[in-house]
């Protein structure tokens, strides 16, 4: 049976990393084989891992279009890896995925570019979409405070600011609404406490497990 592809989505600072760790650990404890990966700069694809550092380094000052073309190249390589490993795992859980490409490109370049490039051209060559998406909905200001507390140097996307993140959040909602007929999309309130979010992620793990057993 092919692996079920699950994308964990949300703005920078929404708590994706913690959610992914929680989800993967819970699924493994249930006996499932789980591959934890990342859509842009997968640790399982050396080329993409190195390229991510170049694209997100603010010092390189890459144009938005250039960035998105390189992000797309990473997506292509990630998809190839998913295809090779699909039979070895029950779940492939990805930090970001399809919806991120659409939502961020809307504002890193333009909605017209998203339509022409991702929804028209690349859809012919990368038809695979995730089976499930878990979207961590968070107030951009809350997400910013979390990033500040982490003390990390902002990357080339994060330095675009709160207003940029807010617009991306709106695009996430737009594309989630459009894709709900084709992708199972769940949304949780990531503004809540860490323990409350953890509980919701564990409930989501149980939901995924039931669906896998029934299939």
Spans of all domains in the chain: 4-36+81-214
As a whole number, the mean pLDDT across the chain is: 93
Contacts 24+ apart (CB under 8 A), 162-170: 164/107, 165/11, 165/12, 165/140, 166/140, 167/106, 167/107, 168/11, 168/103, 168/104, 168/106, 168/107, 169/11, 169/103, 169/137, 169/140
Query: What is the rounded average pLDDT of the residues 120-140?
Result: 89
CA distance 187 to 9: 9
Find out if CATH 3.30.70.100 is the number for domain 4-36+81-214. no
pLDDT for 1 beyond 60: no
pLDDT attached to residue 79: 85
| Cβ proximity of 134 and 186 under 8 Å | yes
151 pLDDT tier (thresholds 50, 70, 90): confident
28-68 pLDDT per residue, tens: 999 999 999 998 888 888 889 999 999 999 999 999 999 99
Q: Residues 122-146: what's their mean pLDDT? A: 90
Per-residue pLDDT at 127: 66
pLDDT at residue 6, as a whole number: 97
pLDDT at 207 over 90: yes
What proportion of the chain, given as a percentage, has pLDDT over 70?
99
Instruction: From residue 153, give the alpha-carbon distance in Å to each of 63, 93, 169, 184.
Output: 20, 26, 22, 34
Residues 157/96, Cβ–Cβ less than 8 Å: no
pLDDT one-digit tens code per residue, 87-117:
999 999 999 999 999 999 999 999 999 999 9
Query: What per-residue confidence (pLDDT) applies to 213?
Result: 85
């Amino acid at each position: 049976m092919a692996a079920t592809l699950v994308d964990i989505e949300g703005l920078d600072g929404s708590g994706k990393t913690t959610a992914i760790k929680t989800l993967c650990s819970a699924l493994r404890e249930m006996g499932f084989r789980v591959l934890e990966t990342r859509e842009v700069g997968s640790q399982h694809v050396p080329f993409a891992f190195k390229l991510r550092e170049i694209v997100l380094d603010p010092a390189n000052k890459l144009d938005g279009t250039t960035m998105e073309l390189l992000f797309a190249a990473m997506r292509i390589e990630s998809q190839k890896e998913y295809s090779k490993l699909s039979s070895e795992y029950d779940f492939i859980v990805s930090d970001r995925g399809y919806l991120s490409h659409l939502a961020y490109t809307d504002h890193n370049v333009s909605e017209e570019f998203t339509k022409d490039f991702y929804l028209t051209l690349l859809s012919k060559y990368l038809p695979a979409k995730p089976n499930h998406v878990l979207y961590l909905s968070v107030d951009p200001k809350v997400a910013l405070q979390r990033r500040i507390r982490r003390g990390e140097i902002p990357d080339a996307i994060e330095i675009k600011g709160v207003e940029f993140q807010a617009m991306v959040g709106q695009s996430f909602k737009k594309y989630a609404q459009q894709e709900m007929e084709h992708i199972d999309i769940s949304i949780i309130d990531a503004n809540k406490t860490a323990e409350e979010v953890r509980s919701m992620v564990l409930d989501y793990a149980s939901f995924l497990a039931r669906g896998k057993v029934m299939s």
